[in-house]
A and B are shown apart, each in its own frame.
Chain A
Amino acid sequence: METVPEPGSNVPPKKDRLQTKKKKPRRYWEQETTGTAAGASPGPPRKRKRNRELRPQKPKKNDTSKKFRMSKKPRELKSPRPQRSLSGAQDPFAGPAPVSVEVVQKYCRIDKSKELPHPKTKTRSRLVVAEAQEEETSVRAARSELLLTEEPGFLEGEDGEDTAKIRQADIVEAVDIASAAKHFDLNLRQFGPYRLNYSRTGRHLAFGGRRGHVAALDWVTKKLTCEINVMEAVRDIRFLHSEALLAVAQNRWLHIYDNQGIELHCVRRCDRVTRLEFLPFHFLLATASETGFLTYLDVSVGKIVAALNARAGRLSVMTQNPYNAVIHLGHSNGTVSLWSPAMKEPLVKILCHRGGVRAVAVDSTGMHMATSGLDHQLKVFDLRGTFQPLSARTLPQGAGHLAFSQRGLLAAGMGDVVNIWAGQGKASPPSLEQPYLTHRLSGHVHGLQFCPYEDVLGVGHSGGITSMLVPGAAEPNFDGLESNPYRSRKQRQEWEVKALLEKVPAELICLDPRALAEVDVISLEQAKKERAERLGYDPDARTPFQPKPKQKGRSSTASLVKRKRKVMDQEHRDKIRQSLEQQLQKQEKAKPTGARPSALDRFVR
């Protein structure tokens, strides 16, 4: 039965059926016959040709050999086509699971564009090995994303519906009971506008009112851990590394309380503090004061690490960059300055606004900074390298408070309204055109913070505390060893010891936290030069060509010299050729482009 396969169909079903009709049922241990053999069985060539047309295409060999390789062109790493096993059954998911290149890129740590200057062959081969290993580990890490259990939240309007119009009450009604319980209002009118802070695990909430009311609670179970009145104005409040310690900036000095509300320390070196920031990996409490000092207090040993004079008057706007622990201060002249305790001068000064800066926030990847000023502008800056604004918009009232969520949502408090803008993803800047959510509160906003690992925005205002639901704000999958909201007491103690053991010293704070792992090319070159000077010769210098003596009788002195001369001439020629090329390039560059040649050009030297 020879038929020509119809064009356009890869596997004509009709023919398949015909073939199976002819055949007897076959067990897998029996000898394979020509009908299904993988081309290995002997048979007439005509028949084999037909078979090849019938069978689906075989997977290519080189697919499986390079399973960790990535190529730029296909966006998905293709797994090899299912292979036919001995029993005839097919593995539908043969080979390693596909990983998209973008995800792998996220885990990539080596910047391949940077190259070492003149590495030796040994170093180069070692680098090649290291890069291959790095690629493999990043592919593996990307593949492990399959194991993440939780999905991020979202909020979508029906076609044409604006999500900003959706009220909190609607969201609360739509979501499950557990999530609905996360929305609450604490009505605390008498103790004035509130500042608030979530602990690093997102489990605990501390808030302090202007008129001295300080409280901490496990906000998920709504269990109050302590509530005190410090009988003094509270400017700011912040958890230290765990929920057991609480720093409160009071009217005069900085006080530290434990979770029972007992005062542990009164730090008189930090006076008239307006804003607090805690750098959890360095165990540093950064305080900005009315006197214009930025003070770093090491809370693990109780020492002041650095007290920097910003020379810009009263400091009331401060935030930290969670990516590199640099402190951003906003000043009344419209600049934002970036500080590290190792330097007496600011690392960077950015002119952001005309008029004073009212609020600054930096996102978790350390790529974007949002600022708002007295000129009613809200700007998003690029922090990697350029420090240029990416987008800006004017707000009718101007934002007094800003906060970024873990997934890159930007919240702004303007009067008694909170607006939230969303971007495309974690590492993309929020688009400021259309707000994602808005909410009106019962008082003026005084403090904003997104809760880590929960889709919740905490707002402190003059009427108390409001916990808003913001779907899609938080990172859904936490890392149990880093900050675990469900950790037990023992786990917390264990974590605390480990965290203290790997406390990063304050001197290591700089703009690029990966700089420590890079090769210090400048001092390397310097050391090389010094070594050559000390030794009197350069041990790494290329030795001049010395011809090898050939067979006996074949290498006269004249021929040796001739060979040597030949190589030297070649090198000389290469050098001249290079310099000529460089000259040509220089001339081309120097040529005025576009202007008409003038007759007087010949006199130009």
Chain B
Amino acid sequence: MKVKMLSRNPDHYVRETKLDLQRVPRNYDPTLHPFEVPREYIRALNAAKLERVFAKPFLASLDGHRDGVNCLAKNPKSLATVLSGACDGEVKIWNLTKRKCIRTIQAHEGFVRGICTRFCGTSFFTVGDDKTVKQWKMDGPSCGEEEEPLHTILGKTVYTGIDHHWREAVFATCGQQVDIWDEQRTSPICSMTWGFDSISSVKFNPIETFLLGSCASDRNIVLYDMRQATPLKKVILDMRTNTICWNPMEAFIFTAANEDYNLYTFDMRALDTPVMVHMDHVSAVLDVDYSPTGREFVSASFDKSIRIFPVDKSRSREVYHTKRMQHVICVKWTADSKYIMCGSDEMNIRLWKANASEKLGVLTSRERAATDYNQKLKEKFQHHPYIKRISRHRHLPKSIYSQIQEQRIMKEARRRKELNRIKHSKPGSVQMVSEKKKHVVAVVK
């Protein structure tokens, strides 16, 4: 007879002293872990609930401006430094870690229309209503020195926007036309026009650095190549585009913030249909900025809220609002992709977390593992109705909420009318136009 009994030595399973960690032997045999799926589902449900519990995105409000904040700029070399220009011509430089203003400049008379930093981070440019372009040093003046711009260029017309080239000492302004300037010269290298309307913003492409995009008040978005004297092509939309923003990861993708409450993501190579129409705002979209990962962007709207959209989704994943925040005019996503800043009408700059329920600060490895696990679970069970409902729910101010309801009714009525029209006309004579194609009027080359 050969016999072996299961006989465990307790010393192998119990810690020796109280200072040791408890021993936890593992066995991943599925029969020892029954109800794997229902338990994971419950864990996912708990994770979804906790995510909403911990969703406290608002971090700080930077106050000090004496008029509405009109433009924001990041410093490419310093995460903590932010520049803002206000409607009274004041420019402030902020330190985000201290959440304090470190410098104030009275830059222009009238609005500061645009502000941009040089790629090296040592100086910045502002344009204002007083028809000037000014270059300023990033560091403050030393003791006894006057606060003065490095250079001032006097123009003939009002400039409404400015952007700097990402690698060279070249910048572009817009107004009546798009001007491209060399930093060393007081007259533009070239100026490009297409039509006669005022251009509201101009943006350099961060990857294909010779490309520019601009949007004008005659409802078009025009693309330029800096190396040639004429514009490349333009697309005309239903309504005016306020700003555009290039995707920092995909050279040919840009997103346009439109007056018709929507954002349009375009592929530069095929402008006749946008890649995606992003709908959720209930008023004109005023500004848009991409996250440095190129997967998401944030948009600021006249409806007093900012929203975060994934690039490939037509609905927003997040909406931020407070009671005191008025019309949001400018928004920026910080370069570490963790924070969002927005400047609004009521003179404040607000700092938000990009991921509302994220824990800030250093995480221990166990915390990191737990959050990763929860994230994966939420992803796995995201389509289950209960979990979907919890993770999608957002509280909205009454004005926005009622606007959404109203617009839903309007949209439904339009759709019903279109269906009826199709039903009562000769088959094939009236076609259903998809949402993407609806808003593009024409593409001109």
Contacts and interface: CB of A to CB of B under 8 A. Distances in A.
Nearest to A147: B26
A217 to B, nearest CB: 18
B10 interface: yes
A480 to B, nearest CB: 3
15 contacts: A141-B28, A149-B25, A153-B3, A166-B1, A281-B35, A324-B35, A477-B29, A478-B25, A481-B24, A486-B13, A504-B35, A508-B41, A516-B38, A516-B384, A536-B432
Given A174-B1, A516-B384, 4 more contacts: A155-B2, A182-B5, A469-B5, A475-B31
A171 B5 CA distance: 9
Interface of A: 106-107, 109, 141, 144, 148-158, 161, 163, 166, 170-171, 174-176, 178-179, 182, 281, 322-325, 364-365, 406, 426, 453-455, 469, 471, 474-482, 484-486, 488, 490-491, 501-505, 508, 513-517, 536-537
Interface in B245-278: none
Interface residues of B, number: 40
A182 B5 CA distance: 10
A469 B1 CA distance: 15
B361 interface: no
A484 B38 contact: no
B25 A479 contact: yes
B34 interface: yes
Given A281-B35, A536-B422, A478 B3 contact: no
A155 B1 contact: yes
Nearest to A130: B380
A503 B43 CA distance: 9
A477 B25 contact: yes
Contacts of B10: 486
A154 B37 contact: no
B227 interface: no
Query: Most chain-A CB neighbours within 10 Å: which of B2, B7, B14?
Result: B7
Interface string B208-246: 000000000000000000000000000000000000000
A474 B34 contact: no
Contacts of A322: 34
Given A149-B25, A488-B22, A502-B46, A513 B35 contact: yes
A481 B3 contact: no
B144 interface: no
B19 interface: no
B32 A323 contact: no
A186 B364 CA distance: 51
Given A107-B30, A365-B31, A502 B3 contact: no
A427 B30 CA distance: 12
A152 B33 contact: no
Nearest to A151: B4
A152 B6 contact: yes
A482 B6 contact: no
B38 A475 contact: no
A179 B7 contact: yes
B8 interface: yes
A176 B7 contact: yes
Nearest to A325: B35
B38 A513 contact: yes
B27 interface: yes
B26 A481 contact: yes
The 10 A-B pairs at the shortest CB distance, nearest first, are namely: A480-B24, A179-B5, A486-B13, A477-B27, A504-B38, A156-B2, A517-B37, A455-B6, A479-B27, A536-B419
B5 A106 contact: no
A420 to B, nearest CB: 14
Contacts of B5: 153, 171, 175-176, 179, 182, 455, 469, 471
A568 to B, nearest CB: 16
Given A106-B29, A149-B25, A153-B4, A503 B12 contact: no
A150 B5 CA distance: 11
